[in-house]
Homo-oligomer: A and B are copies of this chain.
Amino acid sequence: MRPFGFEMPAGECQTDPYDSHIERRLSSLSGQFFNQGEYENLLRNGDPVVYEVRSMERPEQEGELSFGLSIVHPGRVGDEYYMTKGHFHQVRETAEIYHCLRGIGALLMESGDGDWALEEFRPGRVVYVVPGWAHRSINLSEQEDLVTFFVYPSHAGHDYATIESRGFRKLVLHEAGGYKLADNPRWSRAGAECHV
């Protein structure tokens, strides 16, 4: 295995030379958006791509780094912005770095016991997800993609199930001139603690 270099096209986002390209459509985010009625309405009119991940796969072993681009498209389900599924790492004690290349957004984070944090994304801004925190990217723009470059230890693995079942504690909702945070009524501390 030799070193390699490649272009990271923040602007155009063509696939090459990434060796993995995942498209997540609205239907794959079942149960994640608060306004379930609006979610079903939107699905009846099609199944838009909410976000894409273009990544360079590395061996899933300690010392390797996995990296790529996350592209969250603009849109909303009711008042709730388009977002990624969000996940913990399977190996909890692993960090992740996000570097915003384009767009306006936020990274919503949550620890195993329900502490939470929100960090904004603007071009040039870096967010460090300390080990043990789940993370979800949210596009706060009405028009523009949110593009971030991510790096995480390749042995981290992904745990989507915990967030699928309990959600995040906070919702990030549109309001005139900005966004607001609201409590997620479906979230429960009990649901959190059983995953600590």
Quick check: which of A119-127, A166-174, A182-190 contacts chain B, the rest being far away? A119-127
Of all chain B residues, which has the CB nearest A133? Answer: B3
Contacts of A130 in B (CB 8 A): 1-4
Q: Which residue of B lies closest to A92 (CB)?
A: B63
Chain A, interface residues (CB within 8 Å), range: 35 or more
The residue on B at minimum CB distance from A67 is B97
- Docked Cα-Cα span, A149 to B62, in Å, equals 21
- Interchain CB contact under 8 A, A8 and B63: no
How many subunits of this chain does the assembly comprise? 2
Check if B128 sits within 8 Å of A4, measured CB to CB. Answer: yes
Render A44-82 as a binary contact track against B, CB cut-off 8 A, 1 for contact.
000000000000101000111101000000000000000
Q: A3-B129, A117-B2, A120-B5 are in contact. Are A63 and B97 (CB under 8 A)?
A: no
Interface residues of chain A: helix, strand, loop or mixed (majority): strand
A151 close to B97 (CB less than 8 A): yes
CB–CB A8/B99 < 8 A? yes
- A contact set with B: CB distance below 8 Å: 1-10, 56, 58, 62-65, 67, 91, 93-97, 99, 107, 109, 115, 117, 119-120, 124-131, 133, 135, 149, 151-153, 156
